[in-house]
Amino acid sequence: MDPYARGIARGRPPCRKADVQARLVVVLDTRREARGLELIAPYTRAVKRYDVHEFILTDEAAGPGGTVRRVCGLGFAEVSRGGVLMVGDEVLGPGALRIGTVAGFDLSHDPNHLNVVIHVDRPLTGMELGLCPGDLLVFREPEPLPEGGRGAPGPGVDASSLPGR
């Protein structure tokens, strides 16, 4: 049985991890107000090189075990450096554009692909962010807090760094 369901595993595991990288193969311009994504309880998902997964943005407070209704599509991306995605990972786009933080994972299209849900302050589609096929997404550990502690950064897209804004 799943260790998260049994209460043995809780939250993001303490660790050091390598960045995961993925290149966009489709940039989306979609929005849904009642999507109903059901995020699984585990905080981690292993992703393999060459797999293609979908990346979805939400401004709703969402986390493992929750449901997400309001979403917009970032895109589909092919994993170029596999590893482990974790809730709380920072998501960066081209030019170090801070997109948001991983909120959780939905398996509604499994085994075809994983939906990776990313929490943002301002939900913008991949097209609205000015992304293009071939752009690199990087998923990395949260930056250390100034006083040396660790913690997940606040969500969101820095609007000043958006193309044309």
Contacts of 85 (CB under 8 A, 6+ apart): 20, 44, 45, 46, 47, 102, 105, 116, 139
According to DSSP, residue 144 is labeled P
Q: What is the pLDDT of residue 155?
A: 43
Rounded CA-CA distance 87/103 in Å is 5
Query: pLDDT tens for residues 76-125?
Result: 999 999 999 999 999 999 998 999 999 999 999 999 999 999 999 999 99
| DSSP strand pairing (115-119 vs 52-58) | parallel
- Per the confidence metrics, is the pTM higher than 0.85? no
Query: pLDDT tens for residues 36-59?
Result: 999 999 999 999 999 999 999 999
